[in-house]
Amino acid sequence: MPAVVVHALGQAEAALAAAGPRGVLLLSAPGAGGFAGAGWFLALVAEARRRHPAAACVAGLDCADAPGSALAALRAGVRVIVLDGGCPAFGAVAAAAAELGAQVLPARPPALDLGRVDPARRDTQGRLAAWLAMEVPQGSPTPPAS
């Protein structure tokens, strides 16, 4: 499932509108689990899903190297977490996640970051559609500033 980094509701909606049958992993900003929290991110994804109910998506929260944030995210209901694979508590967090049917990734997957673009622009929509259509995302996942 291709990943798209979203920072706001409009970006999440644009990703869901373009997702197609494969769906999309809506990924938070790096380290967002520690500064924004799971509740905010889950609410953002839930509202985007409400507005685009036919689109398949999974919410992924990046917790950087903070196992406490990762465990709090699991308790809040996040089912895909990014936690630095070098974190000493990675194994324990991964085991806790497995018990809940969740997944912990040791690194961020390649993703298109919508943080510096306007999702309403046609060129952004085209870039997003192309990214989501790729079989294996390659190259620089972050678009240049507009």
Q: Identify whether 3 is part of a domain.
A: no
Q: Dump pLDDT digits (tens) for 41-82.
A: 999 999 999 999 999 999 999 999 999 999 999 999 999 999
Q: What is the pLDDT of residue 37?
A: 86
Token couple for 65: 């190297």
The answer as to whether 1 is a domain residue is: no
Residues in the chain: 146
How far is 118 from 104, CA to CA, in rounded Å? Answer: 30
Q: Domain count of the chain?
A: 1
Residue 82 domain-assigned (yes or no)? yes
Domain range for 82: 12-133
In a domain, 68, yes or no: yes
Least Cα distance to 48 among 77, 75, 23 occurs for 23
